[in-house]
Amino acid sequence: MIRHILQALGPWGPVLFGFGFLAPLIATLLKDGGITPPLGLTPIQFGLILGPALGLSAKLRGRWI
Amino acid sequence: MSIAEATTAPYSEMSDRELARAELTIARKYIGRFSWFMAVWGLGNLVCWLALWPLTLSGILPLWMAFPIATINVILCYLPSHEAQHTNFSTGGPALRWFNEFIGYVSTIPMVLPFKIARLTHMEHHSHTNDPELDPDYGVKADSWQQALLTAYKRRQPGQPNAYGETLNRLGDGPVVKRAGLEGAVQVLTFWAIISALAWSGHALEAAAIWWLPRYIGTFYISLYLSWAPHFPAPEQGRYRNTRHFTHPLGNILALGMEDHIIHHLHPAIPLDLNAAAYREMKPILDARGCRDERF
């Protein structure tokens, strides 16, 4: 059961990581750095766009950088 | 007087059996001792890492100071578990088996390495050292330490094959393997759940500086010194040639004691802190065996 769940989620790991960890991390870095996100977005809104987008990019390209 | 000194015939003239006997006589002097050093190392390192959380969350310790400490904690956390993988904390008998397993499970919390998976795959590494198909650590093979770091980075990219997962699949579907896989999945998922919860509750920087980044950096260091350096360039198999003794320009401590890793492969029951002494005593025998003694 757990193995099936992991096999299904595994390929989406970078996106989940982008949502679960990168998004709030980006928001915190913006807030602490006094940086205003573009387009009138709040830091967490910006993080929720950029974090999963970076994850999706990593998933599709097979590398983070 | 050591065995080496007591032996009159030069080791180079000894038969295979005589060399094996002399080697085992030395090894037996070091096998079976309970290593307080490794036990204190394992638990002390964990306590230090755990203490970083309340110290930073309460503002007593700045994050810029906690980050390098946590990274060192991750770098140091593997080797006590490694002793436990070889049940070296309970060589005196089953009474200390619980302690051995305890150290094995808890010491690697900072690097999130599931103990049972580590043990199974590490035994495969010992059984098939430098075998391109069967050694789970063979993927670290590289022509230089810089290349080894690059290889370690590439192996951690999305979609790359997981050597430990592949090893578990190859080992079959028995209860031990199943249990290891289940425990590993629970531990890794728990890690991601915890750092996500920390991040979403306003502690993203603490989660990044104490766990996520140190884990990433620490595993690079461990991969370089514990997997790549002792087996470089990994061309040969066989008891006396698959692992080397090497001299590191910055010393054996920064190399995590891996200069004498050949002793570990020959006699895994010798605790890490006794490997150097065993190597010094065994060196003439290992030279006669044609073992490698090289520079980093």
Indicate the residue of B158, B181, B195 with minimum beta-carbon distance to A62: B158
pLDDT of residue B1: 47
Query: Can you say whether the dihedral through the CA atoms of B198, B204, B205, B211 is positive or negative?
Result: positive
How close, in Å, is residue A5 to chain B by CA atoms?
10
* Mutation site for B-interface testing, chosen from A1, A5, A28 by largest number of B Cβ within 10 Å: A28
Beta carbons of B219 and B74 less than 8 angstroms apart: yes
Q: B207 — contact with chain A (CB < 8 Å)?
A: yes
Indicate the residue of B196, B202, B208 with minimum beta-carbon distance to A20: B196
Contact call for A59 and B158, based on CB within 8 A: yes
- Whether B8 has a pLDDT exceeding 60, the answer reads no
Query: What is the CA B168 to chain-centroid distance, rounded?
Result: 19
Task: Please tell me which residue of chain A has the smallest CA distance to B182.
Answer: A2
- Whether B5 has a pLDDT exceeding 60, the answer reads no
Interface A-B, measured as beta-carbon pairs within 8 A, has a size of 54
What is the residue extent of each domain of chain B?
31-237
pLDDT of residue B2: 54
- Number of structural domains (chain A) is 1
A31: domain range? 2-61
How close, in Å, is residue A35 to chain B by CA atoms?
16
**In the predicted model, what is the mean pLDDT of residues B105-124?**
97
Task: Please tell me which residue of chain A has the smallest CA distance to B200.
Answer: A24
**In the predicted model, what is the mean pLDDT of residues B240-255?**
94
How far is it, in rounded angstroms, from Cα B30 to Cα B239?
19
pLDDT band at B141 (very low <50, low <70, confident <90, very high): very high
Indicate the residue of B157, B186, B199 with minimum beta-carbon distance to A21: B199
- Whether B201 has a pLDDT exceeding 70, the answer reads yes
How close, in Å, is residue A28 to chain B by CA atoms?
7
Q: B181 — contact with chain A (CB < 8 Å)?
A: yes
What are the structure tokens assigned to A37, written together? 């996100």
**Pick from B46, B165, B33: nearest CA to B102:** B46
When the pLDDT of each residue in chain B is averaged and rounded to a whole number, the result is: 94
Residues near B288 by Cβ (< 8 Å), separated by ≥ 6? B10, B11, B12, B14, B19
pLDDT of residue B122: 97
Q: B196 — contact with chain A (CB < 8 Å)?
A: yes
How far is it, in rounded angstroms, from Cα B108 to Cα B85?
12
**Pick from B114, B156, B146: nearest CA to B228:** B146
* pLDDT above 70 coverage of chain B, percent: 97
Q: pLDDT tens-digit profile of B175-194?
A: 999 999 999 999 999 999 99
CB-CB neighbors (< 8 A) of B182 in chain A: 2
Q: pLDDT tens-digit profile of B47-104?
A: 999 999 999 999 999 999 999 999 999 999 999 999 999 999 998 788 899 999 999 9
pLDDT of residue B66: 98
How far is it, in rounded angstroms, from Cα B272 to Cα B88?
10
pLDDT of residue A7: 76
Q: How many CB atoms lie within 10 A of CB B225?
A: 23
- Whether B7 has a pLDDT exceeding 60, the answer reads no
Please give the backbone phi and psi of residue B32, each rounded to the nearest 5 degrees, phi first: 90, -5
CB-CB neighbors (< 8 A) of B205 in chain A: 25, 28-29, 32
In angstroms, the Cα distances linking A55 to A33, A47, B169 are 23, 12, 27
Q: pLDDT tens-digit profile of B158-167?
A: 989 899 999 9
Indicate the residue of A3, A29, A58 with minimum beta-carbon distance to B181: A3
Q: What is the mean pLDDT of each run of 10 residues along chain A (65 residues)?
A: 75 94 97 94 97 96 91
pLDDT of residue B151: 95
Contact call for B157 and A59, based on CB within 8 A: no
pLDDT of residue A11: 87
Which DSSP category does B252 fall into? T
